[in-house]
Structure 1
Amino acid sequence: MTEINQEILKDLINCQDSPCVSIYMSTKAVRKGEFKKLEIEFKNLLQETEKKLKDIWGYKQRDVDEFLNEAADLAADINFWQKQKEGLAVFISENKFELFKLPIDIYNSTHISQCFNIKQLISGLWYDKKYYILALSPNFNQLYRADRNTIDEVELKELPTNIKEFLNIDDEGAQKYQSMSRAGTASVFHGEGATDDDQEDLLHYLREVDRVIFKELKSKDDYLLIVSDDHLFSLYKDDINSYSNLLEKNLSGNVKDINKKELKEKSWEIVEPHIHDYLKSVKEEFAQLKGSEKISKELEEILEAAYFSRVDSLMINKEADKEGFFSAEEKEIKDINDRENYDLYNYAAVQTILNGGKVYPLTEDKMPDNADIAAIYRY
């Protein structure tokens, strides 16, 4: 199992080994220990898939058995069902078998067409969003990458371990900088016993930390949370920081006094309210553009715009489903046959991603204006 990212999505999108089978299943029953229920539900979804392969794609039983062999093995693996999250996504083609344990609840569904259905999978991309934690102090620095369930150290060879090594000074000298960092911004510049050279050395040290962190994160849009004394954080945030997604609030204290589990839990309390900030801004932009030609809620219009690279942001009701075929030449939806037809909402999402736009699958109650699809155009 791999982490969901844009490269994974594009790999699934580019699969040409039709038929492509996409199976989604809610696994939240794992919380109650209902492993047998999960096994039965998955077998039912496989039977549904088997019927479609026979009826629509003309598969014989032996072909079905071979095609679904790995999935059938999962159904009987009790250890597998004991290690679930909230949802499960499985993708099967002649030369591919991929599965993802999702941190969000999803609805059960099976899809078979010329390409994979990734609508619900995209939800995991946004919900399981990563963030960074920087433990910052004169005596210890460390960058971490985390989400709501995990936390890992990020090794940066250039990141100063501490000010002692950075300035090549003794323990007594290093302690002076630790005291300065706790004294507050005014005291850093005018503090008792702190010379102008001391103050500049501390700033030089912080600028080097910022340089290394910015170099690592500049191409990312994940949040950065600082763990440090309040006064040092204020100095770093106001006068040093170069990274645009630094959170305005820090986790106050010394990371050496917090174990990793506590660090993950305490950092998540601060970060969680911001994780879906992106959606608020997208909805606000959509509302501001009402009445203009830069937005649409019409499926056929959006399919055309997505195909021709005009869609910047796309919101879709992840439970909405409409089978058909979009003709780019005639710029209209057609109903051809069960093999050639596909989920048009998924097609809009796929074309948007391939052309560099962002897709947000939402529940029906979160969609703007109760629409099943809503797009913001680039032009």
Structure 2
Amino acid sequence: MKTSKFHPLPIKTFKTLAANHALHCVSIYLPMNKKGKEQNERLAQETLKACIKNVHKTLKEYQLSTTEITTYLKPIEDLISEVELWRNPSEGLAIFLDKKRLNYYTLPIPFITKTQVASSFYLTPLLHLYQDEEMYYLLELSQDYVKLYEASTYGLTNLHIKSLAPDTLEKAVGFDFKQKMLQFRSGQDAFSSGTFHGHGEGKDDDKKEISNFLRIIDKAVNKAIKNNKAPLVIASTNNVFNSYKKINTYPNLFTKNCKGDPEFKNKTKLHEASLKLIKPYFEEIKKQQLTQYQELYHTPKVSYQLNEIIPAAISGKIDTLFVEKNTDEFGLYNIENGKLILDTKKEIQNSSLTNLAAVQTFLNKGNVYVLDAQEMPVKGRPLNAIFRY
């Protein structure tokens, strides 16, 4: 489990939040209202004020005095007048407060307003960040330009492949390559067929050099990539891509390439193009998981029962968990005896069992998909799980 360099909330931060267990952990989510009119009317700040009032009321139920509550919530109150926070807003704001510290994050999710006070933080809304991250690798490849990136929804991170392999064909085959390239027809690249002037021997030599160069790159790619399950997208001309496919040994080479010479492509546009290309791949994975649930419906490999899903999530038994968006089941689960108590609403002593299952599944490296109600495999059930065993 990892996140890209540009991820708005690194996995390490999520784990730290998830590990927090204390009295009166406050979680607040709200949209930041980015539009000019909404900003001018300070709608987000007004929403936060309403959230604070809601939390204040809840903390009263915990028998805290008004003075204690006011002091405790002051760090959140201070955010209302934090000019820099509201000047360049993101889509949503997530706030977490306990007796030790306040943490808050502006994130690219337009959260539905929510507050909760419990013995741990409510983190399910954050799982969208990892569900939608769509991690993959992007290899820019031409005869005189090679770069490998770890890529995701949020950006590109250069893996500096040139420390493992030559980044040009010239460096790979020797300095006489420039002289040989003068014999190529203008407007063609070395990977095109039939571009070399001369006899068959020259063509064969050239093809051999190109193949050797690509094999070196392939070896370096496999060495640089730590997660060989993630798809590898090639940004190149069609000729280069067709040549690379023949020698590739990476187990998950994507079937289509980002077309064109990557050396002359703006990195922002390249990222956008590669993301658009790879998106159907990740959508298909989610569809396959939904289909798998239906296929396993009458077997012990799936469940929609909370008394089965909660202990399975904690023990790491869940491979994939589907969570209904904006829905919670409240209660208590005793790890010692496996006893589950369900409540009809949030009480002082209970917490969200839905949040518990989602967070524990994610921390145990299971897949978590937060879905609209109509997308859930079993409608009317907030949690649907596929078990690993």
TM-score by length of 1: 0.87
Of the three residues 130, 137, 142, the one matched with 1:137 is 142
Tell me, in whole angstroms, the C-alpha distance in 1 between the residues paired with 2:358 and 2:370.
9
Q: State whether structure 2 residue 229 is matched by structure 1 residue 225.
A: no
Equivalence map 1:1-379=2 (5 Å) = 3-27=8-32, 29-35=33-39, 36-56=42-62, 58-148=63-153, 150-156=155-161, 157-170=163-176, 171-173=178-180, 179=188, 181-184=190-193, 194-219=202-227, 221-237=229-245, 239-334=246-341, 338-370=347-379, 371-379=381-389
User: If each structure's helix is expressed as a fraction of its own residues, which one has the higher value?
Assistant: 1
Deviations 1:292-322 (A, max 9, x none): 1110111222113223332221111131112
Compared with structure 1, are the counterparts of its residues 23 and 140 closer, same or farther at alpha carbon in structure 2 (3 Å cutoff)? same
Contact 2:30 2:113 in 1 (8 A): yes
Contact 1:160 1:166 in 2 (8 A): yes
Where does structure 1 differ by over 6 angstroms across 4 or more consecutive aligned residues? 175-178
1:262 Cα deviation from its structure 2 partner: 2.1
1:183 is paired with a residue whose SS is coil
Q: Which amino acid aligns with 1:162?
A: T
1:88 Cα deviation from its structure 2 partner: 2.3
Contact 1:317 1:367 in 2 (8 A): yes
1:335 Cα deviation from its structure 2 partner: 5.7
Compared with structure 1, are the counterparts of its residues 81 and 243 closer, same or farther at alpha carbon in structure 2 (3 Å cutoff)? farther
Aligned residues: 374
Structure 1 gaps, min length 5: none
Instruction: Give the percent of matched residue pairs that are identical in Structure 1 and Structure 2.
Output: 27
Tell me, in whole angstroms, the C-alpha distance in 2 between the residues paired with 1:175 and 1:72.
70
With 151-160 and 331-340 compared, the bigger mean Cα shift is at 331-340
1:226 Cα deviation from its structure 2 partner: 1.1
Tell me, in whole angstroms, the C-alpha distance in 2 between the residues paired with 1:242 and 1:4.
33
TM-score by length of 2: 0.85
Contact 1:218 1:243 in 2 (8 A): no
Compared with structure 1, are the counterparts of its residues 333 and 21 closer, same or farther at alpha carbon in structure 2 (3 Å cutoff)? same
Q: Which amino acid aligns with 1:213?
A: V
Which residue of 1 is the match for residue 3 of structure 2?
A: none
Compared with structure 1, are the counterparts of its residues 314 and 214 closer, same or farther at alpha carbon in structure 2 (3 Å cutoff)? same
1:288 Cα deviation from its structure 2 partner: 1.2
CA RMSD for the aligned pairs?
2.9
Deviations 1:255-302 (A, max 9, x none): 122222322232232123333333112111111101111101112221
Deviations 1:340-368 (A, max 9, x none): 31101011123323433222222222211
1:148 Cα deviation from its structure 2 partner: 4.1
Structure 2 gaps, min length 5: 1-5
Tell me, in whole angstroms, the C-alpha distance in 2 between the residues paired with 1:80 and 1:272.
32
Compared with structure 1, are the counterparts of its residues 214 and 308 closer, same or farther at alpha carbon in structure 2 (3 Å cutoff)? same
1:121 Cα deviation from its structure 2 partner: 0.6
Contact 2:8 2:107 in 1 (8 A): no
With 12-21 and 285-294 compared, the bigger mean Cα shift is at 12-21
Tell me, in whole angstroms, the C-alpha distance in 1 between the residues paired with 2:249 and 2:90.
36
